[in-house]
Amino acid sequence: MPKAKTSSRVSSISKLSPFFRKRTDKPKLELHDYILASDTTSTSYPTFWADPEVLSQTNAYRIRRIGKLPSTLENVINMYSSQDVRVHSSQLFNCITIATPDSIYVYFYKKKDNDRVIHLSMEENQEPPIVNMVSSDTQTIGILAVSKSGHITYWRQYSGASSFLKYKLSLSQQEQITAVESIRGQRAILGSSLGNIYLVDYNANKLAVFSFYKQMNLAAFLSNMLFVTNPVESRSNVVKSSLPCKGKILRIRFSQDHAYIAYAEHMAVWNINDQNEIKLSTVISIHHHLKEALSRHIPSHVSRDYIKANLLDICLSENNTFTVLVSYSVPEMGNYVQYAVISFTYSGSILKENTPLWILHTASVPYSVIPDTLQRAPTLLISEGLAFVTFDRTMIVVSMDKNSVFEERVVLKQDDDDILCTQVNQTVEASALMITRKCIIEFQVDTNKIRRPSAEGNIYAVAVDDTNERDTLIFKSRLEQAVFFGVPEQGPLQFPLRTEQEDISKAVLSLTDDILKGCELLPKSLELGFYIESRYVFSNRIMSVLTDNGLIHSMTENERFKILKTTEYYYLTIVLYETLVENHSFTLQFSAAIQSVLQENSGDLIRAFLIDHPFDVNQLIEQFFSTFEAFDFNLEETALYLQKINKVILSLANRAYNYEEKYLPLYEISHHFGDLWMIASASDLLMKAFEKTQNYVCLSSLNNVTNQSMAALKDNLCEIGSLLLNHLSIEIYKSVGDVRQNYADKLSNTKSVIIQKLCACQQYQVAIELAEKYDDLPAIVAALQTSQLSDEEVQAKHIYFIQAYGYDYFTLLLNWLNDHGEDEKILLLSKHVPDYVDKFFENNPVKISWTYYLLQENYVKALIRLKECLERETNVYKRCDMLSWANMMLVATKEEKDDMFDPNVLQGLSAQLEFEAIQMEIIEAFKEHLNFMSANENAAMFILNKCASILVEDKTRKEDVKELKESIEKLLNETSLDKVQVIKILVMLDNFGSDVMNMTIALRLVNEVKDESNLLLSQIIWKEIYSRDLNSKYVKYHQEFTKVQRHTALKETYTWRVIQSNEGNILAPSSLNYFQSQELSQLEQLFKAVMS
């Protein structure tokens, strides 16, 4: 017989797993192959997240993976830390360069030959150089590399490793090159950490370098000419010390013959013509403009003077605008800084001295960090009014349009991954490319949608009636992306959730409702299994995402429970679907049951139920039961149908149990906060399935059902019973207080029912195993005693359990045997465990105990136990039998130990035996009368009417009649009465038996009553005797009789006959205080005549 199963999951392979596996794998295609494949093939996926290249997608933006670097370059990158590798992308030349301290690798991702990766060696530097791909004088692609220490190398052709120019720029101590910008005419501008600016011209056969600043004095000029290997010629009359620009140069941008040199607090604009003539246009102190813009984004109580702001990067745009990335802090932030992007505009074609600046827009960048912890400086790119700000492992995109609050981010998941390079994607509007260690990622935004009015569905619109509602919708969108695209351990991205003023509960519940109704990220419902599994997986991920982001307690426990309960029903629909997939023959019955539940008879009912009615699982199962009851039981098809019902319920229960065990803690819901399916429904459904299966199996008329089906149903029965008891026992363990007691009571009751019904189906082995598993000793006893095992097998098992559980089990067993009258089995068992028997009989004087001691010839103990049994025995006949044995054993004890013999005890036993014999005689007399009773008559009333007609007819004695009727009923049931009740029967039955004998026996019994009722009972008897003589011949006619006649009439009276046969306890009529004076006078005369 099968043991209880902990799980019965036999599920089909997950339909989602292949898509998740695709997402977790590294892209198989290198970038050049990916581009070629994208141009030639198109793959259709059931939904966005199923596409392994799509990492996130809404109606406003898309993040996708567009290939990876060749393995050669990946290996190079992974050999170095972020500080020792520098990556640059050029869409102009369709290439990516990777620089290390001693090498440069160039990857042309659109070349069609195999020579895509070029390796160039160079002298080793402490850090990788800044590399720019440039147009050379040979109309080919050249490479300009500038190291921080001032080494400049120029290759006229990227493939000509031997054709290059070198130049060593002599820098001051501690000075480094910090910025490089290529400009037209085969030139480049360099900026240093000390604020020096150099122009590099590689148009001739040698490298020429010029300084933007004029030497301050003769000594400096001579030092430069005499001691510097490559003296630098100045091309302007500007002395650096005359300018307010301080610190290192952060970024250089070039546009329309003008170079924009960015410092932390200033921006210098220089004019450079094709003849390398350099002229300072203006220096702008941008610091106070930054503070003005930032003051709108800090608390009002913080003074602008306390703002510390630094310019980090600059981007030039059309229409006289430029945008800067700044970091800022206030004293309350400690060592942390935050970031903002600020766009400015100015009048005129170029910035000039005293040109006024206007702040167009300021956008906060939601990123806070201690600057020293960053591996590289943050960078800024601008495309179509969007700012792309890149940090080590995060890129944040913010809108610079006043009509949109768009702000989203890309965050790399793996700790060993980081963003090596970000480049505006010039081939796709409003997008940027990120080159990471793992892959290449594109972030593309639909700017039209993020700038529409809110009435057109734009959640990023500035102009809204309720900003909290807008924030909630944005949060919901981010949550949705995290749920659908952030599958744990899958893909390169993570989806952190940042909170502000949104209503998190509202957003979560709204997403839950969207999933129920079928949101656009769910696959189309044409593929049913894929749809319902997706619905479950992503509904279940909601709370996981909240937990990962520390937001789970933003939801009340009741709200979390609601989501858990909803998700569980999604899970149950998967179980139902899998059952259908495994049992195609069940489809028709399944559809018929759904039709009854939904009250519909058209369309795909199974699809409609599993998609639109996931919460009607219980109704469906109840309909299964109803359908089963309507079948002809004596058919094989009916047995098979019941098996399928059981399989469905077992599968649901096993899976629901595992689900609740796993997710109750994860959802942080206290046990029994609310009833999930296993608690609220499964127990009742399992019990119903158990009872229906047991009733069916026990039918004797199933001659058309195969033995195989019956065996399968019995296996179902055992599995259901085991599962149900296991569930209840676990609930006890988890519960406390009244709830725990309720489950304990339910388990106790359910155990008894299950074990009893298993025994009724001959499943004794499982019944005994369950009883033993749950330490239900009474159930073990009952299971064995009701089994069809032989007496020898049962006794052997009892002895085994007695050895295992000791005296407790023995006590239960003997009580059971005693309650069921199995005296012979008690005596047989006593031979194997005599010590337990003695102990048991000492504390439990069961009926068989005196027989046991009698067989042991221990007459003293036998007599003691027999007396105890007599106190509890109520059957007249058994008492007579036991009293007879008591008399014999008392005599035996006299012979055994004469000093223990008490004649008074023997006399008392004899009196008891005689009393029981009197009752037996009355019973037998009653039974003779009952032979003449009709079937519809009441036996006690029949006796009363037959034997106490005078009493019954006396309307004044109704209470006496009622009392006498109750006593007669007891006697007819062979229940022994007390002496008072017997006396009243003898006295009140006025025409029953020998009158004098009844009265005499009654008086003798009264004499044995040694309490205060003795006198009262005597008075009742003598009142009855004298009452009967009031109408006697003697009382009425004695004065008219002769002496002989008087004597004859006197002997016929009750009084004469009773007194003649009774030696004592005679009461005169006058002592009764009952009769009227005339009656009393007549009776006194009678009494005197009798006594004389």
| Same domain for 292 and 240 | no
Q: Which residue has the higher pLDDT, 388 or 826?
A: 388
Task: Enumerate residues 6+ apart whose C-beta is below 8 A from 1050.
Answer: 1034, 1038, 1056, 1086, 1089, 1090
3-state secondary structure 750-801: HHHHHHHHHHHCCCHHHHHHHHHHCCCHHHHHHHHHCCCCCHHHHHHHHHHH
Instruction: In whole angstroms, give the CA distance from residue 201 to residue 150.
Output: 15
pLDDT over 70 at 15, yes or no:
no
Say yes or no: 396 and 516 in one domain.
Answer: no
Q: Is there a single domain that holds both residue 47 and residue 99? A: no
d(CA 853, CA 838): 9
- Flag whether 999 is in a domain: no
With respect to residue 1001, please indicate whether it lies within any of the assigned structural domains: no
pLDDT tens string 31-67: 777 666 665 555 677 888 888 889 999 999 999 988 8
Sign of the C-alpha dihedral, residues 887, 891, 893, 898?
positive
DSSP β-ladder status, 103-108 and 379-383? unpaired
pLDDT for the residue 782 = 82
pLDDT at res. 645 = 92
Same domain, 317 and 437: yes
Which residue has better confidence, 104 or 944? 104
Give the integer Cα–Cα distance in Å for 1009 and 1065. 12
Question: What pLDDT shows up at residue 205?
Answer: 77
| Mean pLDDT for the stretch of residues 616-643 | 90
- Count of structural domains, the chain: 5
Q: What is the pLDDT of residue 7?
A: 39
| Whether 401 and 479 share a structural domain | no
What pLDDT is stored for residue 1040 in this prediction?
A: 84
Lowest mean per-residue pLDDT among 180-184, 437-441, 735-739: 735-739
pTM of the model: 0.73
- My answer on whether 655 and 766 are in the same domain is yes
Distances (CA, A) of 470 to 451, 499, 514, 533: 14, 13, 17, 31
Provide the sign of the torsion angle of the four alpha carbons 1076, 1081, 1084, 1086, taken in this order: negative
Beta-bridge partners for 258:
255, 271
pLDDT confidence band for 21 (50 / 70 / 90): low
Distance CA 557, CA 372 (A): 41
Position with higher pLDDT, 137 vs 1005: 1005
The string of DSSP letters for 915-949 reads: HHHHHHHHHHHHHHHHTT--TTS-HHHHHHHHH-H
Q: Is residue 418 part of a domain?
A: yes
Tokens at 217, concatenated: 């004095």
pLDDT tens readout for residues 779-804: 888 878 877 778 888 888 888 888 88
> What pLDDT score was predicted for residue 776?
80
- Could you count the other beta carbons within 10 Å of the beta carbon of residue 1041? 16
Q: Name the residue with higher pLDDT: 471 or 219.
A: 471
Q: What is the pLDDT of residues 290-308, one digit of tens each?
A: 999 999 888 888 888 889 9
Instruction: State how far the Cα of 725 lies from the Cα of 734, in Å rounded to an integer.
Output: 14
Q: Among 1, 71, 66, 81, which residue's Cα sits nearest to residue 35?
A: 66
Packing angle, helices 683-697 and 737-760, rounded to 10: 10
Please determine, for residue 464, whether its predicted confidence score (pLDDT) is greater than 80.
yes
Mutual angle of helices 791-805 and 823-830, in 10-degree steps = 60
pLDDT in tens, 733-789: 887 888 888 888 888 888 888 888 888 887 878 888 888 888 788 888 887 887 777
Q: Which of 788, 814, 829 corresponds to the end of one domain?
A: 788
pLDDT bucket at 425, cuts 50 / 70 / 90:
confident
| Nearest C-alpha neighbor of 750 from the set 773, 780, 728 | 728
Look up the domain containing 335 and give its range.
Answer: 285-445
Q: How far apart (Å, rounded) are the C-alpha atoms in residues 1069 and 258?
A: 150
| pLDDT average, residue stretch 482-494 | 85
52/88 same-domain check: no
974-993 tens-digit pLDDT: 898 888 888 888 887 765 54
Other CB atoms within 10 Å distance of the CB of residue 241: 7
Q: Is the pLDDT of residue 227 over 50?
A: no
The domain boundary, picked from 730, 756, 788, lies at 788
| Domain membership flag for residue 1073 | yes
Can you give the CATH number for the domain in which 158 is found?
Answer: 2.130.10.10
- 640 vs 32 pLDDT, higher one: 640
- Per-residue pLDDT, averaged over 484-498, amounts to 85
C-alpha dist (Å) from residue 523 to 207, 538, 573, 1006: 61, 12, 16, 97
Amino acid, single-letter form, for residue 925: A
Is there a contact between 208 and 201 (Cβ–Cβ < 8 Å)? yes
703-707-713-718 Cα dihedral, nearest 10 degrees: 130
Q: Of 446-455, 618-627, 1016-1025, where does mean pLDDT reach its minimum?
A: 1016-1025
Pair (659, 522) in one structural domain: no
Q: How confident is the model at residue 219 (pLDDT cuts 50, 70, 90)?
A: very low
Q: 842: which residues sit within 8 A by CB, 6+ positions away? A: none
**Secondary structure letter of residue 404 according to DSSP:** B
Q: Which of 136-150, 272-286, 643-657 has the lowest mean pLDDT?
A: 136-150
Residue 821 in any domain: the answer is: no
Instruction: Evaluate if residue 906 carries a pLDDT over 70.
Output: no
Return the number of other C-beta atoms located less than 10 Å from residue 698's C-beta. Answer: 12
Q: pLDDT > 90: what percent of the chain?
A: 34
**Beta-bridge mates of residue 313:** 325
> Looking at the structure, do residues 100 and 52 belong to the same domain, yes or no?
no
Distance CA 433, CA 414 (A): 19
State the pLDDT at residue 3: 40
What is the share, in percent, of the chain residues with pLDDT greater than 70?
90
Does 519 fall in a domain? yes
**Strand-pair partners of 192:** 177
Tokens representing 647 are: 């399989």
Instruction: Report yes or no on 951 lying in a domain.
Output: no
pLDDT, position 5: 40
Of the CA atoms within 13 Å of residue 103, those in its CB half-sphere come to 11
Query: Between the CA atoms of 977, 978, 983 and 988, what dihedral angle is there, to the nearest 10 degrees?
Result: -50
Residue for token digits 């089994």? Answer: 787
Name the pLDDT band for 996 (thresholds 50, 70, 90).
Answer: confident
Reported confidence tier of residue 393, pLDDT bands at 50, 70, 90:
very high
Report DSSP letters for 580-607, one per residue: HHH-GGGHHHHHHHHHHHHT--SS-HHH
Residues 349 and 408 reside in one and the same domain: yes
Work out the burial of residue 1010: count CB atoms within 10 Å of its CB; fewer than 13 is exposed, 13-18 middle, 19 or more buried.
exposed
**Residue-level pLDDT at 870:** 81
Please give the mean pLDDT across all residues of the chain.
85
Domain membership flag for residue 861 = no
Residue 741: count other Cβ atoms within 10 Å of its Cβ.
Answer: 12
At residue 730, the pLDDT reads 85
Q: What pLDDT is attached to residue 896?
A: 59
Q: Which residues pair with 208 in a beta bridge?
A: 201
Q: What is the DSSP string of 410-470?
A: EEE--TT--EEEEEE-TTSTTEEEEEESS-EEEEEE-HHHHTS-GGGT-TTBS--S-HHHH
Q: What is the pLDDT of residues 837-888, one digit of tens each?
A: 888 887 776 777 778 888 878 878 888 787 878 888 888 888 888 888 888 8
* pLDDT tens per residue, range 1021-1065: 888 888 888 888 888 888 888 888 888 888 888 888 888 877 777
Say if strands 233-234 and 208-211 run parallel, antiparallel, or are unpaired.
parallel
Cβ-in-10-Å burial (0-12, 13-18, 19+) of 758 comes to buried
Same domain, 205 and 336: no
Q: What is the pLDDT of residues 813-829, one digit of tens each?
A: 988 988 888 888 888 88
Answer yes or no: do 46 and 178 share one domain: no
- Cα(424)–Cα(806) distance, integer angstroms: 84
Domain boundary among 788, 810, 835: 788
